[in-house]
């Protein structure tokens, strides 16, 4: 019991790390794909995850920019969801791909093959469950040697700490720290 108390006391003294620097990003449009993760009515609403609802404008902006420029846009759903569950603000077009998976959208899906076939080298990851789908899909992308762009104002979780931890993890974990760039939706440009 003493050891457990010591651990808890140490956790209570942990200081929050400084916020990471955000970078202006210029991406090659034909080598980049936009991944929109799990923006569904069940998990992105004012009752369950109001933080998600507040990111919808930024996600919509990125979808519009991507579509206008001809960028590859891919959506994901949780394992139990269907296309009808996607929030109307971000509905996929008929020709846009939807993958269904748990937290890592590469696991048991055709996502990697689609990206490779299209010559994609970098993915922009937006969506909800920063500590689930965003974190694990970004980790999966890094393991597959993709560059990863995470606009922090287009990801969400239930609590700010979950978002903060996920971003910290992406910027500091051995598998992702050299492959992730943090930015904001409005700081992403295509060349």
The domain spanning residue 178 has which CATH number? 3.40.50.850
133-185 pLDDT, tens digit each: 999 999 999 999 999 999 999 999 999 999 999 999 999 999 999 999 999 99
Asked if residue 164 belongs to a domain, the reply is yes
Q: What is the pLDDT of residue 49?
A: 96
Asked if residue 97 belongs to a domain, the reply is yes
Give the pLDDT band of residue 114 (cuts 50, 70, 90).
Answer: very high
Q: Is the per-residue pLDDT at 84 higher than 70?
A: yes
Residue-range definition of the domain harbouring residue 174: 27-190
Mean pLDDT of 102-126: 98
Q: What is the pLDDT of residue 149?
A: 98
Q: What is the pLDDT of residue 1?
A: 60
Q: What is the pLDDT of residue 11?
A: 87
Domain count, the chain: 1
Asked if residue 110 belongs to a domain, the reply is yes
Give the pLDDT band of residue 191 (cuts 50, 70, 90).
Answer: confident
User: Per the structure block, which two tokens stand in for 168?
Assistant: 């910290």
Sign for the CA dihedral angle at 59, 129, 136, 39 comes to negative
Asked if residue 103 belongs to a domain, the reply is yes
Q: How far is CA 122 from CA 7, 11, 47, 116, in A?
A: 40, 36, 34, 11
Q: What is the pLDDT of residue 2?
A: 58
Asked if residue 14 belongs to a domain, the reply is no
Q: What is the pLDDT of residue 48?
A: 94
Q: What is the pLDDT of residue 6?
A: 85
Asked if residue 42 belongs to a domain, the reply is yes
Asked if residue 31 belongs to a domain, the reply is yes
pTM equals 0.94
Q: How far is CA 87 from CA 1, 48, 95, 117, 129, in A?
A: 47, 14, 17, 28, 15
What are 128's strand-pairing partners?
Answer: 156
Asked if residue 179 belongs to a domain, the reply is yes
**Residue the block writes with tokens 């969400």:** 156
3-59 pLDDT, tens digit each: 777 888 988 898 888 989 999 999 999 999 999 999 999 999 999 999 999 999 999
């Amino acid at each position: 019991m003493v050891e457990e108390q010591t651990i808890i006391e140490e956790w209570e003294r942990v200081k929050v790390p400084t916020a990471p620097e955000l970078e202006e990003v210029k991406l090659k449009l034909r080598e980049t794909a936009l991944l929109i993760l799990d923006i569904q009515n069940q998990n992105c609403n004012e009752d369950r995850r109001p933080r998600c609802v507040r990111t919808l404008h930024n996600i919509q902006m990125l979808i519009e920019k991507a579509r206008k420029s001809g960028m590859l846009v891919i959506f994901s759903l949780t394992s139990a969801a269907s296309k009808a569950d996607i929030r109307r603000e971000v509905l996929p077009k008929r020709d846009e791909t939807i993958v269904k998976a748990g937290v890592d959208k590469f696991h048991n899906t055709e996502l990697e093959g689609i990206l490779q076939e299209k010559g994609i080298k970098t993915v922009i990851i937006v969506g909800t469950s920063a500590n689930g789908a965003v974190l694990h899909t970004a980790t999966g992308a890094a393991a597959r040697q993709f560059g990863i762009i995470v606009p922090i104002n287009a990801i969400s979780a239930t609590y700010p700490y979950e978002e903060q931890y996920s971003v910290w993890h992406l910027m500091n974990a051995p598998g992702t720290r050299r492959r992730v760039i943090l930015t904001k939706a409005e700081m992403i440009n295509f060349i």
